[in-house]
Amino acid sequence: MEIEIRSFTKADAEAASHIIERNLIEINSRDYPEKVIGFMKSFYTPEYLMDAMEKRYMIVALDQREVIGISALEDNVIYTVFVHPDYHGKGIGVMLMREIESYALNAGIDSVILYASLSAYEFYLKLNYKKMNIEDDENFGKAYRMEKTLI
């Protein structure tokens, strides 16, 4: 498996949206009510991702030209970290996070925050993110606000 990380393009939006939807259905639905999953599925459309790329640094992971992961950074906040469920546990998420963190550091950002789903909390702990608090949003459900110092 030879993974490539590159900038997100509009042509990636459909595949990335599908990856997010699969994660919501197959993974996040274990931890969140149907109402939250339904909202998030309707939120992360290809159109939303194409709009987001205008203001965020967005990347994708590819396996033989197939999009298998996505991540984004806006200011010092990491967003939209999803890996195709068939690739979970293979280091793709770590690769995406390292690339985003490296980009942030090169942009002069010395610490980043993210809002980890209940499903992804342990993943971020392993990457040395520290829990700051728990937030509860009517649409997105509970999430851990986490922070990592990059320097």
In the DSSP assignment, the letter for residue 128 is: T
Q: Over the stretch 96-107, which tens digit does the pLDDT of each residue have?
A: 999 999 999 999
pLDDT at 1: 78
> Would you tell me how many other CB atoms lie within 10 Å of the CB of residue 92?
22
SS3 116: strand
**pLDDT more than 90, % of the chain:** 99
pLDDT at 35: 97
Q: Over the stretch 47-99, which tens digit does the pLDDT of each residue have?
A: 999 999 999 999 999 999 999 999 999 999 999 999 999 999 999 999 999 99
Architecture of domain 3-109: 3-Layer(aba) Sandwich (3.40)
Domain ranges of the chain: 3-109
